[in-house]
């Protein structure tokens, strides 16, 4: 059951989130009561709460709400989404919003061994790219466009022709020399990619659409999928069994979880 401030959430309580779509969130996987990069997720919530609401967020309270929701759920290792929004938001005066509430939702994690993604490049730049906000319409519409064109997902690029990220994941590539290349640009700083970057040598630089198509390998990262290979970019095949991809997966899997 979804919980708002530690209590069962009903439709009326989350009406503002559904109608105004103004807020922010983070998502993480919980395994045996532990979360990879928990401190980074909590820092994101604090940072984004100040950016979106101009308010401080009590992350100890957030952790207590998550623990309570997990006790009520029981069972498997779920994905937990913590959404922060103001139920009293007036869309005519969003500047008055400043009493953030915490909604905790849980769902099953993705199965292991997901197939590589065939991605198509789509022009799109997220609003406030550094904030993990709930405004997903543009990103999901771009994903829909890519899927209607026969791909599994979208890979965004800006007006400058440089690739950035996917709708709900960060992107990376392996060049011809075996280096891990992370596209520079206006992207959401993902926790999974940051955990890998701290352990594995990576190069951050601009990557054009043409360069992305010609890379040796590519990958997507997020809490829900870990490291997932890209099968192709705009129909141009990439190696899905590259040893660097295996090394990246092992690097991420070795990251210890922090207790909730």
Residue 121 sits in the same domain as residue 99: no
Task: Judge whether 119 and 233 are in contact, CB under 8 Å.
Answer: yes
Which pLDDT tens digit goes with each residue over 191-211?
999 999 999 999 999 999 999
Residue 128 sits in the same domain as residue 81: no
Task: Judge whether 219 and 239 are in contact, CB under 8 Å.
Answer: no
Residue 139 sits in the same domain as residue 240: yes
Pick the last residue of a domain from 51, 80, 108: 108
Which pLDDT tens digit goes with each residue over 81-105?
999 999 988 889 888 877 899 999 9
Mean pLDDT, all residues of the chain: 94
What sign has the CA pseudo-torsion 173, 175, 179, 183? negative
Q: Give 137: exposed, middle or buried? Use CB within 10 Å, 0-12, 13-18, 19+.
A: exposed
Residue 160 sits in the same domain as residue 179: yes
What CATH number has the domain bearing residue 17? Answer: 3.30.470.10
Domain count of the fold of the chain: 2
Q: Domain range spanning residue 24? A: 3-108
Separation between Cα atoms, residue 68 and residue 66, nearest integer Å: 5
Separation between Cα atoms, residue 112 and residue 61, nearest integer Å: 31
Pick the last residue of a domain from 108, 137, 165: 108
Residue 124 sits in the same domain as residue 99: no
Task: Judge whether 217 and 230 are in contact, CB under 8 Å.
Answer: yes
The pLDDT score that the predictor gives to residue 77 is 67
Flag whether pLDDT at 242 surpasses 70: yes
């Amino acid at each position: 059951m979804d919980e708002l401030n530690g209590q069962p959430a009903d439709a009326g309580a989350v009406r503002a989130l559904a109608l105004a779509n103004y807020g922010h969130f983070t998502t993480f996987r919980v395994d045996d009561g532990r979360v990879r990069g928990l401190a980074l997720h909590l820092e994101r919530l604090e940072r984004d709460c100040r950016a979106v609401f101009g308010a401080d967020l009590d992350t100890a309270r957030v952790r207590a709400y998550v623990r309570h929701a997990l006790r009520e759920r029981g069972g498997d290792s779920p994905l937990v989404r913590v959404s922060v929004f103001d139920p009293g938001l007036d869309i005519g005066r969003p500047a008055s919003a400043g009493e953030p509430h915490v909604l905790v939702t849980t769902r099953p994690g993705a199965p292991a061994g997901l197939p590589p993604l065939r991605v198509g490049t789509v022009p799109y730049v997220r609003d406030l790219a550094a904030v993990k906000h709930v405004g997903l319409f543009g990103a999901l519409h771009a994903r829909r466009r890519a899927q209607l064109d026969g791909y599994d997902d979208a890979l965004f690029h800006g007006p400058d022709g440089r690739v950035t990220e996917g709708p709900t994941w960060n992107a990376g590539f392996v060049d011809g020399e075996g280096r891990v290349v992370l596209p520079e640009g206006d992207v959401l700083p993902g926790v999974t990619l940051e955990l890998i970057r701290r352990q594995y040598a990576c190069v951050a630089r601009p990557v054009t659409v043409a360069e992305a198509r010609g890379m040796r390998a590519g990958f997507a990262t997020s809490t829900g999928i870990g490291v997932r290979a890209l099968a192709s970019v705009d129909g141009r095949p990439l190696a899905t069994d590259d040893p660097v991809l295996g090394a990246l997966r092992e690097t991420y899997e070795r990251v210890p979880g922090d207790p909730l």
